[in-house]
Amino acid sequence: MTSTQALPSVNNTFGKTVKPISVPKRHLFGPGPSNANPLVLEALALQPVGHLDPYYIDLMAEVQDLLRYSWQTTNRLTLPMSGTGSAAMEATLANIVEPGDTVLVGIKGYFGNRLFDMAGRYKANVQTIKTDWGKAFSLEQIEKALKEHNPSVFALVHAETSTGVCQPMEGIGELCRKYNCLLILDTVTSLGGVPLFIDEWKVDLAYSCSQKGLSCPPGLGPFTMNERAENKLKSRASQVPNWYLDVSLLNKYWGSDRVYHHTAPVNMNFGMREALRLLLDEGLENSWKRHKDNAEALWDGLENLGLQLHVERRLRLPTLTTVRIPNGIDGKAFATHLLNNHGIEIGGGLGDLGGKVWRIGLMGYNSKIENVELLLDIFKSELPKF
C-alpha cells in the first residue's frame, strides 16, 4: 500500500468507549483459583524486565530452588512451565511417552480421565485401573494392575480435585521401581497445602499449578522430573512431538546455558517467586498444619449442620472438601445464590459427581479460620432458604 492509498474504515464493534476494568469482590472458595495473596499481586504489578535480563535469570534460579523445597526434591529439571497446570500435566506425558508405550492411568476422578485422554493423543497403549469417585487405590490393586499391564509409565493423581480424595502414597513408588515403570504424580491441589515428598516417595515426574495452594493467579505449571525420567527422555527414538513443552529444549533456557526458547511470562514468575517465598517463610510443616487444622474445623462444622461429606476422613484433602448436596436441594441454584448475593464462590461436581456434591476449597491464602467461620455462617443462614 502506498502513502497515497486510503485506508479502509475501522469497524468499532464496541461502540464509542469501553470502561476501565472493574472486578467484583469474590471469596474464591471453589476448587481453584484461590484468592491471591496481596503480596503476590504487588509482585505481579511490578515493571517487567527482559526474559534474558541478568536480574531475571537470577530470579529464575531462585524460583527453581524454591520449587525444589516445596516439593522436597533435588531434581535438576524443576521449573515452572509457561502455561497452566494442564500444560504441566501434558508436559509429563509429552516428554516420556512414545508411540506404543504402555501407560497405566489410575482413574478415581475427573483428572485421571484427563491423563487418559492426553496419553492416548501421544499414541500410547493406554490401560486403566479404576475405583469409585471418592475412594483411593490400595497397594494390592496397584500391584495387580502393574503385573497385568507391564507399563512403562504409571500416572496417578495425588490430590483428586473432583472428589476431594488424597491418595496415600506409601509403597507406590517402590512398586513402580519393582516393575520398572516411571511414576507420574498429579499434585495440582496438594502443592503447598498437603505433605509432599517427591524424592522419598520415589516419584519420577510431578506437576502442579500456581493458583491453588500457592495463592498465585493461574498461568504457571510447576514441573519436575528426576534422573530416571531424564534417561527415558534421552533414549527416545523420536523427537518430543510438542515443541513448546519439550523439556530438552526448555532445559537450555532454565539450565546453565540460558539459551532463548520462548518469551517467558516474566511477571507471572515474579508472582510465583513471591508466593514461594511466602511459603518458605511460613515453613512447609506450618503450612501443612494450617491447612489441616482449618479443614478439620470446616468438616466438623459442616457435619454439625447436618451435612454429609463425600469422602471418609482418613482420605480427605485438607485443601478441598466435597459436600453431598442434600435431597431436594438444587445445588447449582444454591451456588449461584451465594455468588450473586454474597460474593462467595463454591464449586459443583464434575463427571460422575455432577449435581451430587459441592466442592469447597480452602487453599493457600484462603486457608484461615475466619474463612471457615464465614462459610459455616453462610451455610447455616442460606441453606434453609432452599
Tell me the residue type at 197: F
Q: Read off the pLDDT band of 235 (50, 70, 90).
A: very high
- Dump strand ranges (E) for 173-219: 182-186, 205-207
Mean pLDDT of all residues in 127-132: 98
- Which residues lie closer than 8 Å to 124 by C-beta, 6 or more apart? 93, 97, 99, 100, 101, 102, 103, 153
pLDDT at 8: 86
User: Does the pLDDT value for residue 2 go beyond 90?
Assistant: no
Mean pLDDT of the chain: 96
Determine how many CB atoms are found less than 10 A away from the CB of residue 218.
16
Cα 301 to chain centroid, rounded? 27
Every domain of the chain and the residues it spans: 27-33+284-385, 38-280
Residues β-bridged to residue 357 = 324
Segment 5-18, tens digit of pLDDT: 888 887 777 777 88
Taking each helix axis from N to C end, the angle separating 369-382 and 284-304, rounded to the nearest 10 degrees, works out to: 20
Residue 372 makes CB contacts below 8 A (sequence gap 6+) with: 294, 297, 298, 301, 362
Question: Looking at the predicted structure, is the pLDDT value of residue 1 above 60?
Answer: no
Q: How far is CA 369 from the centre of its chain?
A: 23
What confidence score (pLDDT) does residue 19 get? 86
What's the pTM value of the predicted model, to 2 decimals?
A: 0.95
Helix axes 284-304, 266-282, angle to 10 degrees: 80
- CA max distance for the chain: 78
Could you report the per-residue pLDDT of 171-220, keeping only the tens digit for each?
Answer: 999 999 999 999 999 999 999 999 999 999 999 999 999 999 999 999 99
- The class that CATH gives domain 27-33+284-385 is alpha beta
What is 38-280's CATH number, 3.40.50.2000, 3.40.50.300, 3.40.640.10, 1.10.287.40? 3.40.640.10
Q: How many CB atoms lie within 10 A of CB 206?
A: 29
Predicted confidence band of residue 3 (pLDDT cuts 50, 70, 90)? low
pLDDT at position 259 is 87
What is residue 57's predicted lDDT score, i.e. its pLDDT?
A: 93
Strand partners, 165: 160, 316
pLDDT in tens, 48-63: 999 889 999 999 999 9
pLDDT in tens, 301-357: 999 999 999 999 999 999 999 999 999 999 999 999 999 999 999 999 999 999 999
The closest alpha carbon to 71, from 195, 216, 209, 156, belongs to 195
The CA-based angle 92-169-72, given to 5 degrees, is 65
The alpha carbon of residue 357 and the mean position of all alpha carbons in its chain are separated, in whole angstroms, by 20
